[in-house]
A and B are shown apart, each in its own frame.
Chain A
Amino acid sequence: MQSSASLGAFIAFVSGHRAELGVLLMQHVVLVAIATACAVAIGVPLGVFAAKRPRLAAPAMAIAGVVQTIPSLAMFGFLLPVPLVGGVGARAALVVLILYGLLPIIRTTIAGLRGIDPAVREAGVAMGMTAKQLLRQVELPLALPSIVAGIRVAAVVGVGSATIAAAIGAGGLGEYIYRGLSMVDTTVILAGAVPAALLALAVDGALWWLERQLSARRRVRSRRAALAVAAAIAGVVLLSGVVSARRAGRGAVVVGSKNFTEQLVLGELLAQQMERNGIAVERRLNLGGTLICDRALLTGDIDVYVEYTGTALTAVFHQPIATDSSQVFSAVRDLYARTGRTLLPPLGFNNTFAILVRGTDARALSMRTIDDAARESPRWRAGFGYEFVERPDGYTGLARAYGLKFPGPPRVMDLTLTYRALAAGQVDLIAGDATAGLIKGLDLVQLDDTRHYFPPYDAAAVARADVVLRRPEVPAALEQLSGRISAADMRAMNYAADVEHRDIAVIVRDFLATR
Chain B
Amino acid sequence: MPDPAIEFREVSFARPGRPRVLDAFSLTVEAGEVLALVGRSGAGKSTLLKLINRLIEPDGGAVIVEGRDTRAWDPIQLRRRVGYVLQEVGLFPHMTIGDNVAVVPQLERWPPERVTARVDELLDLVGLPPQQFVTRWPDELSGGQRQRVGVARALAADPPVLLMDEPFGALDPLTRVELHREFRRVQERLRKTVIIVTHDMGEAFALGDRVGVLEMGRLIANDRPAVVAASRDPHVRQMLDALPAVPR
Contact = CB atoms under 8 A, between A and B. Distances in A.
B220 interface: no
B84 A219 contact: no
Contact of B137 (A128, A138, A217): A217
Interface residues of A, number: 24
A324 interface: no
A312 B99 CA distance: 71
B93 A127 contact: no
B30 interface: no
Given A217-B139, A220-B95, A126 B79 contact: yes
B41 interface: no
Given A127-B84, A128-B79, A128-B104, A219 B96 contact: yes
A120 B92 contact: yes
Contact of A125 (B79, B93, B94): B79
Contact of B80 (A121, A124, A127): A127
A201 B31 CA distance: 63
A99 to B, nearest CB: 32
Interface residues of B, number: 28
B84 A123 contact: yes
A122 B90 contact: yes
Contacts of B238: none
Contacts of A141: 94
A223 B92 CA distance: 15
A364 B153 CA distance: 95
Interface string A110-146: 0000000101111111111110010001100110000
A122 B79 contact: no
B246 interface: no
Contacts of B154: 127
B226 interface: no
B236 to A, nearest CB: 30
Nearest to A215: B94
12 contacts: A119-B86, A120-B92, A120-B93, A121-B90, A122-B86, A124-B90, A124-B92, A125-B55, A126-B79, A126-B86, A128-B104, A220-B96
A126 B137 contact: no
B123 interface: no
Given A120-B92, A128-B79, 14 more contacts: A117-B90, A120-B91, A120-B93, A122-B86, A123-B84, A124-B90, A124-B92, A126-B55, A127-B107, A128-B76, A137-B92, A141-B94, A217-B139, A218-B94
A127 B139 contact: no
A125 to B, nearest CB: 7
Contact of B104 (A125, A127, A219): A127
The 4 closest A-B pairs by CB, nearest first: A123-B90, A128-B79, A119-B88, A128-B80
A412 B13 CA distance: 73
Nearest to A133: B107
B29 interface: no
B89 interface: yes
Main secondary structure of the interface of A (DSSP, over half): helix
Nearest to A138: B92
A231 interface: no
A79 B60 CA distance: 58
A121 B76 CA distance: 15
A127 B86 contact: no
A329 B32 CA distance: 100
Contacts of A218: 94
B193 interface: no
B93 A142 contact: yes
Contact of B99 (A120, A124, A128, A220): A220
A130 B137 contact: no
A143 to B, nearest CB: 10
A194 interface: no
A126 B82 CA distance: 8
A130 B77 CA distance: 10
Contacts of B55: 122, 125-126
B53 interface: yes
B103 interface: yes
A216 B93 CA distance: 6
Interface string B103-119: 11001000000000000
Contacts of B79: 125-128
A3 to B, nearest CB: 55
B168 to A, nearest CB: 15
Contacts of B153: 127
Interface string A286-324: 000000000000000000000000000000000000000
A234 B93 CA distance: 28
A165 B146 CA distance: 53
Interface string A431-466: 000000000000000000000000000000000000
Given A125-B55, A126-B79, A127-B104, A216 B94 contact: yes
Contacts of A128: 75-80, 104, 107
A142 B103 contact: no
Contacts of B139: 217
Contacts of B78: 128
Nearest to A120: B90
Contact of B94 (A119, A123, A129, A142): A142
A379 to B, nearest CB: 75
Contacts of B95: 220
A127 B94 contact: no
Contacts of B86: 119, 122-123, 126
A124 B88 CA distance: 13
A125 B84 CA distance: 10
Contacts of A129: 76, 103, 107
Given A126-B55, A128-B77, A217-B137, A119 B90 contact: yes
Interface in B151-165: 153-154
Interface in A193-250: 216-220, 223
B93 A123 contact: no
